[in-house]
């Protein structure tokens, strides 16, 4: 592996003081908010601060965290850094700039570091004096400092080069927008693959990176971290700062599009040698973490290639012997976000467990597994300092908030630490949430959340919405979202029925895997069972005013339910649902198979290409394509889709809407030319929510 000088550092490191008052005027920050009538609306939701990242100080006494605030008029947001004691208390704002700060890190107990634009900045906590540590023309996506403080590894991108036989066709055409491709994976989720992320090693001298000594650790056309989800969690230093363990799927093009087989590689910074320590494991291997003594390494590991929702096992390797141990062999749930205890005897991880995300501890020696956290919440991630834990926690009633735990806790609800959204949330009357275990058609029990309207009065009746989860293998947990926000639906005056139907993780592998190859089977019956249960047993739910909504696989679910919403006993006109809304859903499976980018997804879930008609699984899967049931549509439907969704392309939504129009079904089409599989821009999100509420109000309230 050769040393390469990719980027030039500024000749003189610049020193910056705190921002001037004039600069502060342009900064997007927290606003004063008055909530009318206690109703939680989309507008109120977007006034809340969004906790994005955080880092605990080396001595465990302070936590540095990043919060994003939005200016709806500007249609922009901004992230600044804050500092507070880990036991709670007043927070100090550390940055006040019009540029967002991210990847917060501690250099030592008195110095922090972070990314801003094309720079990595260090700051003295006491004076807020800033120093440029590194500068990169292509920018940074994150970084980690070595334990000995003498180097760092950062994420940046390199451009994808055209092959010469194609490049010559572009000679003299500097204004052409044409793209020529001769392989797959030319676009991914929401971006054209014009650049790929890689990790770079840079030595530090007197707190500054020597960018003329940069080493590209990957030195190839492979990704690290892996798109679209990966970040700095996909690589780590060894305690002695001599090794880098990283995640990489060493495939490109057709092979990349057909495989999930990533591996854990260890790069020796002294010799430049790389070795694969997960060879022979065929699924995703990711997010390696060294033990404190440096003798072991743990990572998340899937067994099967091409199956993105396989169980994430907790794999531990003895680096000297090479022996690998699966600590979750007899545990029916997957793990994520691994950390070692201070004595390396236990590992902690987040587990999707029976409707919530919780911290579990795994004893490496005894194999005993115990639950550390428990409650009506999700622990989305955590950091450990000794045995103390600082976690990001959400529920359906509050956004990401810092909570404190201890590794010795037994099913603790945690202690709230941060309070930056309390002034707004204290003005809101959230709809209460209750869990129900409902009998399915095959006699099993299914966890379904019921969220009440915010102004609930037991003497009145209300309309209800069935929420259809995406994924297809995603949990319906105590999550918080700026799109599918149950409290916004509650604030609009609706009950929300949210089932963990077949395919949702957290209820064992059998429940999880039943959905693959059977999209129109028990998972759809689960939706009907949940709807009928509440329609039959809750007099406050008006059974003739029930709608259904969902995105991605949830959007597919809406299209499928629309074609099976007739001759239902006990409902007026035989229609269980009186209005539908589908966001970015699959409509035509044959079309979808050839338009998506990660081919392994449809190969696994549908069984393969639609032209393989001799395969019984293919016949069964494609027979459940919603477009085959349009002749049965009889219910108003709203279709939403976005142009930059490369997983389920916009033509799927347009086809569904056009079908409804051709059938003279009352219908509406909301199209975003600048959004992806998600709706991220603030004003687009407000329009999305206003349209959502208006659509269902039109057919369920009037």
Helix ranges restricted to H, 259-391: none
Predicted confidence at residue 24, as pLDDT, reads 56
Q: Is the pTM of this model over 0.85?
A: yes
- Does residue 250 fall inside a structural domain? no
pLDDT in tens, 499-549: 999 999 999 999 999 999 999 999 999 999 999 999 999 999 999 999 999
Predicted confidence at residue 18, as pLDDT, reads 37
620: number of Cβ within 10 Å = 16
CA angle 298, 113, 157 (to 5 degrees): 70
Inform me whether the pLDDT recorded for 56 exceeds 50: yes
Judge if 410 and 483 occupy the same domain.
no
Residue 51 sits at φ, ψ, to 5 deg, of: -70, 120
Query: Across residues 455-465, what is the average pLDDT?
Result: 97
Handedness of CA 563, 566, 567, 571 (dihedral sign): positive
Beta bridge partners of 381: 392
When pLDDT is cut at 50, 70 and 90, the band that residue 2 belongs to is: very low
User: How far is it, in rounded angstroms, from Cα 562 to Cα 559?
Assistant: 5
Query: Across residues 265-272, what is the average pLDDT?
Result: 97
The answer to whether the beta carbons of residues 601 and 284 sit under 8 Å apart is no
When pLDDT is cut at 50, 70 and 90, the band that residue 6 belongs to is: very low
Which tokens sit at 324?
Answer: 């690998």
- Does residue 167 fall inside a structural domain? no
- Does residue 146 fall inside a structural domain? no
The residue out of 428, 446, 468 marking a domain boundary is 428
Task: Kindly list the strands in the beta sheet with 62-71, ordered across the sheet, starting from the edge strand earlier in the chain.
Answer: 50-56, 62-71, 76-85, 92-93
Core vs surface per residue 279-304: b (16+ CB within 10 A) or e: eebbbbbbbbbbbeebebbbbbbbeb
pLDDT in tens, 300-359: 999 999 999 999 999 999 999 999 999 999 999 999 999 999 999 999 999 999 999 999
The answer to whether the beta carbons of residues 414 and 88 sit under 8 Å apart is no
The answer to whether the beta carbons of residues 107 and 59 sit under 8 Å apart is no
User: How far is it, in rounded angstroms, from Cα 194 to Cα 186?
Assistant: 8
The answer to whether the beta carbons of residues 188 and 677 sit under 8 Å apart is no
Handedness of CA 523, 525, 531, 537 (dihedral sign): negative
Domain count, the chain: 3
User: How far is it, in rounded angstroms, from Cα 259 to Cα 280?
Assistant: 14
The residue out of 107, 128, 149 marking a domain boundary is 128
Handedness of CA 221, 226, 231, 234 (dihedral sign): negative
Judge if 445 and 422 occupy the same domain.
no
Query: Across residues 416-436, what is the average pLDDT?
Result: 97
What's the CATH number where 88 sits? 2.120.10.30
User: How far is it, in rounded angstroms, from Cα 282 to Cα 303?
Assistant: 6
Task: Kindly list the strands in the beta sheet with 243-248, ordered across the sheet, starting from the edge strand earlier in the chain.
Answer: 235-237, 243-248, 263-268, 274-276
The residue out of 428, 445, 464 marking a domain boundary is 428
User: How far is it, in rounded angstroms, from Cα 605 to Cα 591?
Assistant: 15
When pLDDT is cut at 50, 70 and 90, the band that residue 690 belongs to is: very high
Predicted confidence at residue 129, as pLDDT, reads 97
Mean pLDDT of the chain: 95
- Does residue 266 fall inside a structural domain? no
Inform me whether the pLDDT recorded for 22 exceeds 60: no
User: How far is it, in rounded angstroms, from Cα 569 to Cα 267?
Assistant: 64
Predicted confidence at residue 20, as pLDDT, reads 38
Judge if 487 and 562 occupy the same domain.
yes
Judge if 577 and 562 occupy the same domain.
yes
Judge if 668 and 683 occupy the same domain.
yes
**pLDDT above 90 coverage of the chain, percent:** 95
When pLDDT is cut at 50, 70 and 90, the band that residue 220 belongs to is: confident
User: Which residues are marked as active site?
Assistant: 552, 645, 677
Of 113, 172, 186, the closest CA to residue 144 belongs to 113
- Does residue 2 fall inside a structural domain? no
Inform me whether the pLDDT recorded for 4 exceeds 60: no
- Torsion from C-alpha of 506, 511, 514, 520, nearest 10 degrees: -90
Predicted confidence at residue 241, as pLDDT, reads 98
Query: Across residues 87-114, what is the average pLDDT?
Result: 97
What distance lies between CA 430 and its chain's CA centroid? 24
The answer to whether the beta carbons of residues 578 and 494 sit under 8 Å apart is no
When pLDDT is cut at 50, 70 and 90, the band that residue 5 belongs to is: very low
Judge if 365 and 493 occupy the same domain.
no
- Does residue 57 fall inside a structural domain? yes
Residue 380 is part of which domain span? 327-428
Query: Across residues 552-575, what is the average pLDDT?
Result: 97
- Does residue 274 fall inside a structural domain? no
Predicted confidence at residue 299, as pLDDT, reads 98
Inform me whether the pLDDT recorded for 8 exceeds 80: no
Judge if 455 and 416 occupy the same domain.
no
Predicted confidence at residue 699, as pLDDT, reads 98
Judge if 624 and 480 occupy the same domain.
yes
When pLDDT is cut at 50, 70 and 90, the band that residue 25 belongs to is: low
Handedness of CA 38, 40, 46, 49 (dihedral sign): positive
Predicted confidence at residue 26, as pLDDT, reads 76
CA angle 106, 111, 116 (to 5 degrees): 70
When pLDDT is cut at 50, 70 and 90, the band that residue 702 belongs to is: confident
The answer to whether the beta carbons of residues 91 and 97 sit under 8 Å apart is no
Judge if 447 and 377 occupy the same domain.
no
What's the CATH number where 468 sits? 3.40.50.1820
Query: Across residues 268-293, what is the average pLDDT?
Result: 97
Judge if 459 and 604 occupy the same domain.
yes
Judge if 456 and 421 occupy the same domain.
no
Inform me whether the pLDDT recorded for 681 exceeds 90: yes
23: number of Cβ within 10 Å = 13
Whole-number CA gyration radius for the chain: 26
Inform me whether the pLDDT recorded for 3 exceeds 90: no
- Does residue 213 fall inside a structural domain? no
Judge if 411 and 482 occupy the same domain.
no
């Amino acid at each position: 592996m050769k040393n390469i000088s990719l980027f030039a550092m500024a000749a003189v490191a610049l020193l910056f003081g705190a921002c001037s008052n004039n600069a502060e005027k342009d900064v997007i920050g927290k606003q004063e908010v008055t909530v009318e009538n206690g109703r939680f609306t989309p507008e109120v939701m977007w006034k809340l601060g969004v906790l994005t990242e955080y880092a605990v100080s080396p001595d465990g006494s302070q936590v540095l965290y990043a919060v994003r605030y939005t200016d709806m008029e500007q249609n922009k947001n901004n992230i600044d850094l804050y500092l507070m004691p880990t036991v709670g208390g007043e927070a100090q704002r550390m940055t006040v700039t019009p540029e967002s700060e991210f990847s917060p890190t501690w250099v030592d107990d008195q110095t922090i570091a972070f990314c801003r634009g094309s720079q990595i900045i260090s700051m003295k906590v006491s004076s807020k004096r800033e120093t440029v540590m590194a500068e990169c023309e292509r920018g940074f996506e994150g970084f980690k400092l070595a334990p000995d403080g003498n180097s760092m590894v950062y994420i940046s991108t390199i451009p994808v080069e055209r092959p010469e036989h194609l490049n010559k066709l572009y000679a003299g055409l500097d204004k052409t927008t044409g793209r020529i491709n001769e392989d797959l994976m030319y676009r991914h989720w929401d971006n054209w693959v014009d650049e790929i992320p890689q990790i770079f090693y840079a030595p530090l001298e007197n707190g500054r990176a020597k960018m003329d000594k940069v080493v590209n650790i990957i030195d190839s056309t492979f990704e690290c971290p892996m798109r679209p989800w990966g970040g700095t969690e996909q690589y780590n230093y060894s305690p002695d700062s001599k090794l880098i363990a990283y995640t990489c799927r060493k495939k490109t093009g057709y092979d990349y599009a057909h495989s999930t087989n990533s591996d854990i590689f260890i790069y020796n910074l002294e010799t430049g040698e790389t070795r694969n320590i997960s060879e022979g494991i065929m699924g995703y291997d990711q997010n390696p973490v060294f033990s404190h003594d440096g003798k072991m390494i743990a990572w998340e590991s899937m067994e099967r290639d091409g199956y993105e929702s396989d169980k994430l096992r907790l794999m531990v390797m003895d680096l000297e012997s090479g022996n690998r141990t699966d600590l979750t062999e007899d545990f029916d749930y997957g793990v994520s976000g691994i950390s070692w205890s201070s004595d390396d005897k236990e590992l902690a991880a987040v587990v999707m467990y029976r409707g919530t995300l919780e911290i579990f501890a795994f004893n490496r020696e005894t194999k005993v597994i115990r639950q550390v956290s428990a409650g009506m919440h999700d622990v989305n991630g955590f950091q450990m300092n000794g045995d103390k834990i600082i976690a990001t926690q959400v529920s359906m009633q509050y956004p990401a908030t810092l909570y404190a735990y201890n590794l010795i806790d037994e099913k603790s609800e945690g202690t709230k630490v941060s309070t930056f959204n309390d002034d707004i949330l204290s003005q809101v009357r959230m709809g209460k949430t209750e869990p129900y275990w409902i009998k399915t058609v095959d006699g099993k029990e299914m966890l379904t959340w019921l969220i009440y309207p915010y102004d609930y009065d037991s003497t009145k009746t209300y309309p209800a919405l069935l929420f259809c989860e995406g994924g297809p293998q995603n949990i319906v947990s105590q999550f918080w979202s700026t799109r599918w926000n149950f409290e916004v639906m509650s604030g609009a005056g609706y009950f929300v029925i949210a089932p963990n139907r077949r395919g949702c993780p957290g209820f064992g592998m059998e429940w999880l895997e039943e959905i693959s190859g059977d999209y129109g089977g028990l998972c759809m019956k689960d939706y009907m069972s949940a709807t009928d249960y509440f329609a039959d047993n809750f007099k406050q739910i008006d059974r003739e005013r029930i709608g259904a909504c969902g995105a991605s696989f949830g959007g597919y679910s809406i299209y499928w339910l629309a074609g099976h919403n007739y001759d239902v006993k006990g409902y007026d006109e035989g229609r269980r649902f009186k209005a539908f809304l589908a966001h970015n859903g699959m409509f035509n499976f044959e079309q979808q198979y050839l338009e998506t980018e990660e081919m392994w997804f449809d190969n696994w879930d549908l069984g393969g290409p639609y032209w393989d008609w001799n395969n019984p699984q293919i016949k069964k899967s494609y027979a459940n394509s919603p477009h085959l049931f349009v002749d049965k549509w009889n219910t108003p439907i709203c279709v939403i889709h976005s142009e930059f969704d490369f997983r389920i392309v916009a033509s799927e939504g347009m086809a569904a809407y056009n079908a409804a129009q051709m059938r003279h079904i009352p219908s509406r089409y909301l199209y975003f030319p600048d959004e992806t599989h998600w709706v991220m821009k603030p004003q687009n999100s407000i329009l999305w929510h206003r349209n959502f509420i208006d659509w269902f109000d039109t057919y369920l309230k009037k």
